[in-house]
């Protein structure tokens, strides 16, 4: 994992003898990848690049309205994109191996598992076993996509582990799931011109602000992505082999006995991820895990119940599954272990962004969590729709982009939640997260001048946007307490 890189670099910095074991168990369809973990190979990086490819498709359409002239409809070539993406990932894998070498960190492409206290067995892909001992251990094995456990899932379905290196265009795709992985993938596949359907068991983006989640779903639906709500697949059969082939999916309603069928070229499962903790011999060294989720509980120093064994990243219980969190935690851990530092990782107000077609950046409390924690009467929600200037000329939606700020009245109207739906949401949200870390209040927000004309300024009160539909805008920054749905 990438976090491994920063952490071992950190440890190597203190001239400690460090070894990294990394091994990728192939997917059910036989897919594997190099050093760097989920983010680099089958997560953030390829995801964002394919999302960018989709955004560029939209840019192509917009550009005509800005005077750019080119003939017919422009088609997308999946292989060209995937090859470029994979080449870039390959350069990252290589970059990590070089960096580890430079920092004199021993790297083995082998599957590690504990066999007894202070000892791991490393098995490489040819089955050769070696034993290693160490003073301390850090478990950072991350997660892998979950399968449905229905007939045909492992044989015929793919997951995000397969999508980014698929050697053929997925074609008409059914995405099963309502996670950000599901929605982001469905989003860019549709943006590349594919026929996409999302099958959702219940709600979208569980754990995220539901008001924002629904807006994301609405936008996707309005832009051609089909949603089948409250159904789960019960069977996947192959009609025809091929690259892609044709699959028949049978699904059952969660609300009754209705059964539906559909035909797709590809079925992408994105229903959740499971921690890789069950088969690494944790029982041999006494590391406790949550039996139900497989996740490892740690204290605020990332230490497991076994003093010389630490854990980082997606496998941690009650922590966010995000690359920057893992990196930060890892770096600080090593500084504490070998650098005499005492700083712990700050998990509060960690910002994040969902790279759906309409991007969603968030930091702090969702509205429902804020109400639950502080009480309806103690929070104030300021909100506004906005129309990015770049969307005016190509006549794109003028009432879909949206921002809301949740304040704690009792605490000087401190900003406790920030949510923005619009282009470049990640770039917008990052700075606000820093401000929230500094204890931002509504008053400070109001007294800061906006940069004009950018989307981010809508979150600053001092600027009054001036779009064509004037009447609508009189509701700018309307105060609203609680009631939302």
Which residue lies nearer to another protein by CB, 14 or 88?
A: 88
Which residue lies nearer to another protein by CB, 281 or 467?
A: 467
452 is catalytic: yes
Question: Does 301 sit near another protein (CB under 8 A)?
Answer: no
Closest C-alpha among 110, 138, 82 to residue 24: 110
Question: Smallest distance, Å, CB 325 to another protein?
Answer: 6
Question: Does 205 sit near another protein (CB under 8 A)?
Answer: no
Distance from C-alpha of 312 to C-alpha of 326, rounded to nearest angstrom: 6
Element (H, E) at 338: helix 323-339
Distance from C-alpha of 39 to C-alpha of 42, rounded to nearest angstrom: 6
Question: Does 307 sit near another protein (CB under 8 A)?
Answer: no
Question: Smallest distance, Å, CB 247 to another protein?
Answer: 24
Subset of residues 206 to 245 that bind another protein, contact rule: CB under 8 A: none
Is 397 annotated as a binding-site member?
A: no
Per-residue x/- track, 112-131, another protein (CB under 8 A): --------------------
Subset of residues 450 to 479 that bind another protein, contact rule: CB under 8 A: 450-457, 459-460, 462-464, 466-471, 474
Question: Does 84 sit near another protein (CB under 8 A)?
Answer: yes
Subset of residues 317 to 336 that bind another protein, contact rule: CB under 8 A: 322-325, 328
Is 178 annotated as a binding-site member?
A: yes
Which residue lies nearer to another protein by CB, 49 or 122?
A: 49
**Is the CB of residue 48 less than 8 Å from the CB of residue 187?**
no
Distance from C-alpha of 338 to C-alpha of 245, rounded to nearest angstrom: 54
Distance from C-alpha of 245 to C-alpha of 452, rounded to nearest angstrom: 50
Burial class (CB in 10 A: 0-12, 13-18, 19+), 110: buried
Question: Does 341 sit near another protein (CB under 8 A)?
Answer: no
The residue from 74, 131, 260, 341 that contacts another protein (CB under 8 A) is 74
How many residues make up the chain in this entry? 485
Which residue lies nearer to another protein by CB, 227 or 347?
A: 347
Distance from C-alpha of 56 to C-alpha of 316, rounded to nearest angstrom: 36
Q: How far is CA 107 from CA 5, 100, 394, in A?
A: 11, 7, 52
Distance from the Cα of residue 178 to its chain's centroid: 12
Is 156 annotated as a binding-site member?
A: no
State the catalytic residue, choosing from 51, 76, 383, 452: 452
Question: Smallest distance, Å, CB 10 to another protein?
Answer: 12
Burial class (CB in 10 A: 0-12, 13-18, 19+), 200: buried
Which residue lies nearer to another protein by CB, 121 or 273?
A: 273
Distance from C-alpha of 290 to C-alpha of 207, rounded to nearest angstrom: 20
Which residue lies nearer to another protein by CB, 265 or 429?
A: 429
The count of C-alpha atoms lying within 13 angstroms of the C-alpha of 357, restricted to the half-sphere facing its C-beta, is 25
The residue from 12, 53, 148, 204 that contacts another protein (CB under 8 A) is 53
Question: Smallest distance, Å, CB 77 to another protein?
Answer: 5
Question: Does 181 sit near another protein (CB under 8 A)?
Answer: no
Q: How far is CA 37 from CA 1, 29, 140, in A?
A: 4, 18, 10
The residue from 17, 26, 66, 206 that contacts another protein (CB under 8 A) is 66
The arrangement of strands across the sheet holding 259-264 comes to 231-240, 246-253, 259-264
Is 182 annotated as a binding-site member?
A: yes
**Is the CB of residue 410 less than 8 Å from the CB of residue 382?**
no
Subset of residues 418 to 447 that bind another protein, contact rule: CB under 8 A: 424, 426-435, 437-440, 444-445, 447
Q: Tokens for 52?
A: 């960018």
Total residues interacting with another protein, rule: CB under 8 A: 96
The catalytic residue positions are 452
Known binding positions for FAD? 48, 112, 314
Known binding positions for NAD(+)? 177-184, 272
């Amino acid at each position: 994992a990438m976090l491994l890189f920063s952490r071992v670099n950190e440890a190597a910095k203190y001239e400690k003898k460090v070894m990294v074991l990394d091994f990728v168990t192939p997917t059910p369809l036989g897919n594997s990848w190099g050093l760097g973990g989920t983010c680099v190979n089958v997560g953030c990086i390829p995801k964002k690049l394919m999302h960018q490819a989709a955004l560029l498709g939209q840019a192509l359409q917009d550009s005509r309205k800005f005077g750019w002239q080119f003939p017919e409809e422009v088609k997308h070539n999946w292989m060209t994109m995937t090859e470029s993406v994979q080449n870039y990932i390959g350069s990252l894998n290589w970059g990590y191996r070089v960096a580890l070498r430079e920092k004199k960190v021993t790297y083995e492409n082998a599957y590690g598992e504990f066999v007894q206290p202070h000892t791991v067995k490393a098995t490489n892909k040819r089955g050769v076993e070696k034993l290693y001992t160490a003073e301390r251990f850090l478990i950072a094995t991350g997660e892998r996509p979950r399968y449905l456990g229905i007939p045909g899932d492992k044989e015929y379905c793919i997951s995000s582990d397969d999508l980014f290196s698929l050697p053929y265009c997925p074609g008409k795709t059914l995405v099963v799931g309502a996670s950000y992985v599901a929605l982001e993938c469905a989003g860019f596949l549709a943006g590349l011109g594919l026929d996409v359907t999302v099958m959702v068991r219940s709600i979208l983006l569980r754990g995220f602000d539901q008001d924002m989640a629904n807006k994301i779903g609405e936008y996707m639906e309005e832009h051609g992505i089909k949603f089948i709500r409250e159904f789960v697949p019960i069977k996947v059969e192959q009609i025809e082999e091929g690259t892609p082939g044709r699959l028949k999916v049978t699904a059952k309603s969660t609300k009754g006995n209705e059964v539906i069928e559909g035909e797709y070229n590809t079925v992408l499962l994105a229903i959740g991820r499971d921690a890789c903790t069950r088969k690494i011999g944790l029982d041999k060294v006494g590391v406790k895990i949550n039996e139900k989720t497989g996740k490892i509980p740690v204290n605020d120093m990332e230490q497991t119940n076994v003093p010389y064994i630490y854990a980082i990243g997606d496998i941690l219980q009650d922590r966010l599954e995000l690359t920057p969190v893992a990196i930060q935690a890892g770096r600080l851990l090593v500084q504490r272990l070998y650098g005499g530092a005492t700083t712990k990782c700050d998990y509060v107000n960690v910002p994040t962004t969902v790279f759906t077609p309409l991007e969603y950046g968030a930091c702090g409390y969702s509205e429902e969590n804020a109400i639950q924690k502080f009480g309806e009467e103690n929070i104030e929600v300021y909100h506004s729709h906005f129309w990015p200037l770049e969307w005016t000329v190509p006549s794109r939606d003028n009432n879909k982009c949206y921002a809301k700020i949740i304040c704690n009245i009792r605490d000087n109207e401190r900003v406790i939640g920030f949510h923005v739906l619009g282009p470049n949401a990640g770039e917008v949200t990052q700075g606000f997260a820093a401000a929230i870390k500094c204890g931002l209040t509504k008053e400070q927000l109001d007294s800061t001048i906006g940069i004009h004309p950018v989307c981010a300024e809508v979150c600053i009160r001092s600027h009054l946007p001036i779009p064509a539909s004037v009447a609508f805008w009189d509701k700018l920054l309307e105060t609203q307490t609680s009631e939302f749905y």
